[in-house]
Amino acid sequence: MPDNVSRAFAPATVSNLTCGFDLLGFAIEKPGDTVGARLTESPGVTIAKITGDGGLLPRDPAKNTAGVAARALLETLGLDREVGVALELQKGLPGASGLGSSAASAVAAIVATAALIEAEATDQDKLRCAIEAERIACGTAHADNVAPSLFGGLVLVRGKGGSRVDRLAVPERLFCAVIRPHVEIRTEAARAVLPENVSRSEAVTQAGNLAALVVGLLRDDLELVASALVDVIAEPRRVDAVPGFDAARRAGLATGALGVGLSGSGPSIFAFTEGRGAAGKTGEAMATAVLDAADVISDVYSSPVGSPGARLVADPVR
């Protein structure tokens, strides 16, 4: 792309955090997606180029979350008939990985486009446009990936369409290991296995765990955090589709991790640890366990829990 380009990076995210289904998510340092945006003569949004996706993503802006998000932003600002934007998307994270891939593309496109046209878009405008893109990608407008990718940190999202976002304090010594087994699970399919209704005892247990997790984070009480990292609603119904999950959980806990769970709808798996060194060891142990149990290799990442969100960058972030 030529020089008159605005470029933004948006990080991958871990959502749910076990007991916070559709409510909690946090940004990790890397990987993430980079989107470059430049002005074109004809109004509307086009996708000029996508790299890093193996040719899999739609180039039609109406079907690609980056395109949908940028278009939604122009519409929100009343500029869709006046301004033309071409996007160049560099995928740093694979789709159907449980790491908020569609969300990162949408968020990076919004931040790059807003900077390009020097728009006075509010955070709420940007969030709404990103959620709209998520709805196109997954069939539901859940905000637990787009909100942390946009704002950074660890966030609680609530309300219709994720309209209320609260950032939670996170103990500085809290880190995460994340492994991404090389298989794909589509969020839409992973949501289809979930029941419409849950039992009273499941609801009570989940609410208790979620409350304990939030209190544990705010009080810097990692023992309480560890006791709360249990999902009795979504994860038990999803893990059969995740190769090596049980082995990864056992291996992660054996290294001293505070808890292990699915990242979003999987197949990625996260663990909370005390300290970055522990996160590195836990990640390697979980990846080895998945390889041994299911013959699937994994990428391994470690990060503080709640890294910075989307930002403008000079060059694509690799």
Binding site for ligand HSE (CB under 6 A): 15-16, 21-22, 100, 142, 144-145, 187, 190-191, 234, 264-265
Amino acid at 143: A
Q: What's the distance, CA 232 to chain centroid?
A: 21
Tell me how far, at minimum, the Cβ of 56 lies from ligand HSE, in Å.
17
Our CB check for ligand HSE shows the closer of 22 and 299 to be 22
Helix H or strand E encompassing 270? strand 269-274
Cβ distance 207 to 232 under 8 Å?
no
**Secondary structure of residue 56 in the 3-state scheme:** coil
Our CB check for ligand HSE shows the closer of 233 and 279 to be 233
Our CB check for ligand HSE shows the closer of 57 and 285 to be 57
Cβ distance 6 to 36 under 8 Å?
yes
Distances in Å between the Cα of 100 and the Cα atoms of 106, 119, 185, 292, 313 are: 10, 25, 12, 26, 20
Our CB check for ligand HSE shows the closer of 83 and 138 to be 138
Helix, strand, coil in percent for the chain, rounding step 5? 40, 25, 35
Tell me how far, at minimum, the Cβ of 20 lies from ligand HSE, in Å.
9
Our CB check for ligand HSE shows the closer of 91 and 142 to be 142
Tell me how far, at minimum, the Cβ of 232 lies from ligand HSE, in Å.
14
How far, in Å, CA of 17 to CA of 306, rounded?
12
Residue nearest to ligand HSE (CB): 264
Tell me how far, at minimum, the Cβ of 98 lies from ligand HSE, in Å.
6
Tell me how far, at minimum, the Cβ of 221 lies from ligand HSE, in Å.
25
